[in-house]
Structure 1
Amino acid sequence: MSLIHVTSKNFEKALQAAPGVAVVDFFATWCGPCKMLAPVIEEAAEDMPEIQFYKVDVDEAPELARSFKVMSVPTLAFFKNGELVKKNVGAVSYEELEELINSVK
């Protein structure tokens, strides 16, 4: 499984180490929709080893949330070769996540 919790200190390094597509889940521990999305992200991380999945707790890394203009959680940010290419706000199903990933490949 390729699901890594990152902070402001290791975010850039982690993203640089992820060639291809990476998905960053900006979440908060108190957020209901984030809790609904968590198992979807975990399942996708197991099923898609070619994709790097990261989780960022916005309460622990508010500067990261600000830098990516995350105004609501959960927000999924999709990166390709280290560049932000798409964002999606709100919980999604596994199928919707798969479609989002395929749209940035």
Structure 2
Amino acid sequence: MAADQPYSQTAPTRAEVDAFAGVVVLDFGTDWCGYCQGARPLIEEGLARHPAARHLKIEDGPGRPLGRSFKVKLWPTLIFLHDGREVARVVRPTDSTSIEDAFAALE
């Protein structure tokens, strides 16, 4: 996914997410969030090393049911799923190690 790709205002339902096959990274945040903008290069770098992972950038905020179902409180929050099940989570990454550790947990 391109670095300039905005967070999507539409999100899959929790039932759809739970049915995803393979590795999926849910990236919750907003385009105006300074933490999200600061973490973007780290996230893009980490995802580039795992091209088979599906990456969904999802706009989060009050009244957004998918983020609430994962109890997202800070942005960006990355949820690493394998076959619809959460395996790892990274909140406000500050280095690439945390993202690599999350991908390693999927193996």
Normalised to the residue count of structure 1, the TM-score between the two structures is 0.74
How far the C-alpha of 1:96 sits from its partner, in A, is 2.1
Q: How high is the sequence identity, in percent, across the aligned residues?
A: 30
Change (3 A) 1:56 1:12: farther
Cα offset for 1:15? 6.9
Per the TM alignment, residue 102 of structure 1 is displaced from its structure 2 partner at its CA by 0.4
Once residues 53 and 79 of structure 1 are traced to their aligned partners in structure 2, the CA distance between those partners, rounded to angstroms, is: 10
- Matched residue count: 104
Contact persistence 2:18–2:85 (CA under 8 A): no
2:85 is the alignment partner of 1:83: yes
After TM superposition, where is structure 1 displaced by more than 4 Å over at least 4 residues in a row? Answer: 1-6, 9-17
Cα shift readout 1:1-48 (whole Å, capped 9, x = no counterpart): 58885532477657745x322211111222221111112222233321
Could you tell me which runs of 5 or more consecutive residues in structure 2 were left unpaired when the two chains were aligned.
none
In structure 1, the partner of 2:11 is 8
> 1:62 — aligned with what?
64
Relative to structure 1, the CA distance from residue 92 to residue 51 in structure 2 (aligned partners, 3 Å threshold; closer, same or farther) is farther
Residues of 2 paired with 1:66 and 1:74: CA distance? 14
SS at match of 2:86: strand
Of Structure 1 and Structure 2, the greater helix share is in 1
* Displacement of 1:60: 8.9
User: Which consecutive residues of structure 1, in runs of 5 or more, have no partner in the other structure?
Assistant: none
CA distance in 2, matches of 1:59, 1:43: 25
TM-score of the aligned structures, taking structure 2 as reference length: 0.73
C-alpha root-mean-square deviation of aligned residues, in Å?
A: 2.9
